[in-house]
Chains A and B, each alone.
Chain A
Amino acid sequence: MAWLRDRIGWEDIAHLAAKKEVPIHRYTVFYYLGGMALFLFMVQVATGILLLLYYRPSSAEAFESVQYIMAEVPFGWLIRSIHSWGANLFVGVVVLHLISVFFLKAYRAPRELTWISGAVLLFLTLGFGFSGYLLPWNTLSYFATKVGTDVPAQIPGIGPLLAQILRGGSDVTGATLSRFYGIHVAILPAITTLFLGLHLILVQRHGMSLPPSVERRGPGRSMKFVPDFLLRDMVGWLTAVGILAALAALLPWELGRKADPFSPAPAGIRPEWYFLSMFQALKYFPSEIGGVPGEMIGVFLFGAIAAALVAVPLLDRGASAGRPSVWWNRAAVLALAGAVALTILALLPAGRPAP
């Protein structure tokens, strides 16, 4: 044991863990969201690796291989359902983490890079969702990918080339499936590992951020990260496992019908819930605004919102200087309310024909 301790530098690790403190205040509960997101990511990695053992990434076999996983492989239905439900829970927790960090102003100096790396991780998470959605090669995922890959094609200049690179051709075909598989299981995990590493190092370096209202009151109570906070974290993870297992067992994730490039888009088609607001917004852009195609304006608007999200700590200088970010908070509440309203609208009229 001493041999191993010497070689891995156990004393240093133990010293670091013993030193780490977590502040106790009325918002402490939000500190658990980051750990929860990390845990759900690990669940996705584990179940994803298990699915890799049977999944076949070709348009001829993808659907059948998922069908085989669900119907023939022992506990295959459970692994696939946990992976699908877990993806949704993971995106939900990441979004909640971002919202809580925003309103608790944890992006103030010196934590700007922690926020920026976190925002990039959110986009990578959405990339995982988008690329993974196509892999079962069913009707819904096929058309969602057709729309999703046509959106970047609207960018003037490089758009068509970008769409061609994404699709592996001019249309969504088996070549797109191969690319999305590579993106989902190799490219995104590699980039995510880098950004996740950076994010965790920065969290470790700067410690937990105190919300301005708590900071103003001066030093308060705290708990040890190991074991007090970690044990509480683990209770949350155990609860997440319970929720995931219950969802997977009671509401197994459906496979749908195999994609047929020569069938019309079915009524009621829509993407996963986290893309619904964008999907619904695209319905409201008229075909042309001042001579510019509506969808192009939509793409620029989404891009501008994404850029503003990444740059929040650089734009909201007042927060770092100790001033309240009233306008930023109002803008965020407005954006959130808009996203929720659009999502509800997208869910309400499933398949409603045009008036």
Chain B
Amino acid sequence: MLRYLVPPLSSEPSLSEVELDVKASEILPNSGRIVPFSGKPALVFRSASGELKALSATCTHLACTVQYRPERADIWCACHNGVYDANGVNISGPPPRPLTKLEVNVRGEKIVVRRV
């Protein structure tokens, strides 16, 4: 019975590199957006200085999806008020760990995100 209840592992391939549908020029300085990365949400954002960054968007507290806050240039989880800095380091609220870092590259106009 227990074996029946435990779902089989997903057959979806876990990609280590994903080319996003978003163009690099679409992400303006001091803004961010959530994109699918291997079936999970990732946060791709551009700092005020124009640097493009990517992090896992899954909050390390209780798995809500975080967002980039332009007015504070930080990353915020609305569920329990957890805050991370622009490097994904947990700085206030309940999150126990930093967000997982992802590598981001721009090829022409395309954004490519990959696991570190």
Contact = CB atoms under 8 A, between A and B. Distances in A.
A265 B65 contact: yes
B41 interface: yes
Interface SS of A by simple majority: loop
Contact of A268 (B36, B77, B78): B78
A240 B77 CA distance: 39
Contact of A294 (B57, B64, B71, B96): B96
B63 A295 contact: no
A265 B79 contact: yes
A164 interface: yes
B96 A353 contact: no
Contacts of A287: 61, 90, 94-97
Interface in B53-106: 57, 61-67, 69, 71-72, 76-81, 83, 90, 92-97
A165 B90 CA distance: 29
B80 A264 contact: no
Given A164-B6, A262-B35, A262-B36, A294 B79 contact: no
Contacts of B71: 353
Given A283-B80, A294-B94, A261 B63 contact: no
Interface hub of B35, B41, B64, B92 (most chain A Cβ within 10 A): B64
B62 A170 contact: no
A164 B6 CA distance: 7
A22 to B, nearest CB: 44
Given A164-B6, A293-B96, A264 B57 contact: yes
Interface string A131-148: 000000000000100110
Nearest to B77: A265
Interface hub of B35, B62, B72 (most chain A Cβ within 10 A): B62
A256 interface: no
Interface string B27-40: 00000001110011
Contacts of B35: 262
B49 interface: no
Contacts of B93: 283, 354
B65 A263 contact: yes
A269 B78 contact: yes
B7 A175 contact: yes
Interface residues of A, number: 37
B5 interface: yes
Given A264-B67, A294-B96, A353-B69, A161 B62 contact: no
Contacts of A353: 69, 71-72, 76, 81
Given A150-B62, A282-B62, A261 B41 contact: yes
Interface string A273-286: 00000010011111
B90 to A, nearest CB: 7
B10 A147 contact: no
A295 B62 contact: yes
A148 to B, nearest CB: 9
B79 to A, nearest CB: 5
A143 B83 CA distance: 17
A146 B62 CA distance: 7
A282 B94 contact: yes
Contacts of A293: 96
A255 interface: no
Given A264-B66, A282-B61, A283-B93, 20 more contacts: A147-B80, A164-B6, A170-B10, A171-B40, A261-B65, A262-B35, A263-B34, A263-B65, A264-B34, A264-B57, A265-B64, A265-B67, A265-B78, A269-B64, A283-B80, A287-B97, A288-B96, A295-B62, A295-B96, A354-B81
- For the complex of A and B, list the 10 residue pairs with the smallest distance between their C-beta atoms, beginning with the closest: A264-B67, A287-B96, A150-B62, A265-B64, A265-B78, A150-B63, A147-B62, A283-B80, A354-B83, A264-B65
